[in-house]
Amino acid sequence: METGLVLPHTGPSASPSFLQDFAQAAEGHKFRRLWAVDHLVLPEHVTSLYMLGREPTPVADGWLAENLAPNYEMMTTLAWVAGRTTTIGLGTSVAVLPLRNPVANARQPATLDALSGGRLTYGAGIGWLREEATAMGMPWDRRGARAEEHIALLRKLWCAHEPYVEFHGEFYDFAPMDPRPQPVQRPIPILVGGHSAKAIDRAARIGDGWIAAPTSVTRLTDLVTALRRAAETHGRSPDTLYTVASTAYDDARSFAETCGAVRRLGIDHLQIVIPGDEPRRIIDCLPHVAAVAGQ
């Protein structure tokens, strides 16, 4: 099982110097990937319910900004980190497709993958925060169907061999255009995020894999079982889906137990969040995290 780290690019401790030191230390300790999270808007008032827990959960006024600001934008952060590292992988966890124009969105990951030498894994989902899409002027209705067409458009541009590419879908339409620059990877792996039955089915049906938000091992077991059944339903071998689980590093004993349980589930990659507000302490604990995780 590979291990990776979530970049500290959101929250009160986020800073350029912390990001650089963290990324270079992670690469030095042989973690396989650095992940960035996605919010383009942090609204003060939220009526949308957070949907990735066992039950939909309300969000208190001001909570997002209090906990996630400053919020360095995901793709810009990954590009900046790519220029300060050499080999470590990069990942989105997860890009919210309904917030993005798909043509512009095809260009950003393709450019990052090309400039970084093929280091990007693209986690993508449909999001939960309607207020974010409203602020961006993007439609929220039928976002699952829109996201699936968005993914098809990304792959069309990334994998094109002809000099001009056109696309005619239900939601997106463009006349022939030059698809370049194209990524090193053809296509960039797309991992579908989400815990709902529809998200699991989408990952099994059109994803290169699935990426989970932090959850208990018990619930993760249920979700992985559902993913494997869905893959078989769609005529795919579950072993062809790359799976990513997420957890936080708290105390060494519980973290070691979680790593062991996740490894026994057959998860391919464990994404690790290191909580705290002291940059030096967080960076200093990376060798221990790597050792406990069996990196």
Residue 33 bridge partners (DSSP): 4, 89
Reported as half-sphere exposure (CB side, CA atoms, 13 A), residue 113 has a value of: 24
Quote the pLDDT of residue 251: 85
For 78-109, what is each residue's pLDDT tens digit? Answer: 999 999 999 999 999 999 999 999 999 999 99
CA angle 80, 213, 41 (to 5 degrees): 55
Task: Give this prediction's pTM.
Answer: 0.97
User: Mean pLDDT for the chain?
Assistant: 97
pLDDT higher than 80, residue 250: yes
* CA 271/CA 34 separation, integer angstroms: 9
CB 132 within 8 A of CB 41: yes
Distance separating alpha carbons of residues 35 and 22, to the nearest angstrom = 12
- Helix crossing, 217-233 with 252-264: angle to 10°? 20
Residue 74 has pLDDT above 80, yes or no: yes
- pLDDT for 295 beyond 70: no
Span 195-224, average pLDDT = 97
Tell me the one-letter amino acid at 79: A
* CA 152 to chain centroid: 18
pLDDT in tens, 120-165: 999 999 999 999 999 999 999 999 999 999 999 999 999 999 999 9
- Give me the residue label for tokens 């579908």: 192
Cα distance between residue 143 and residue 49, in whole Å: 16
pLDDT in tens, 127-136: 999 999 999 9
Domain ranges of the chain: 2-293
Residue 177 phi, psi dihedral angles, 5° rounding: -140, 155
Exposure b/e, 110-121, CB count within 10 A at least 16 = b: bbbbbbbeebbb
Determine what percent of the chain falls in helix, strand and coil, rounding each to the nearest 5: 45, 20, 40
Class of domain 2-293: alpha beta
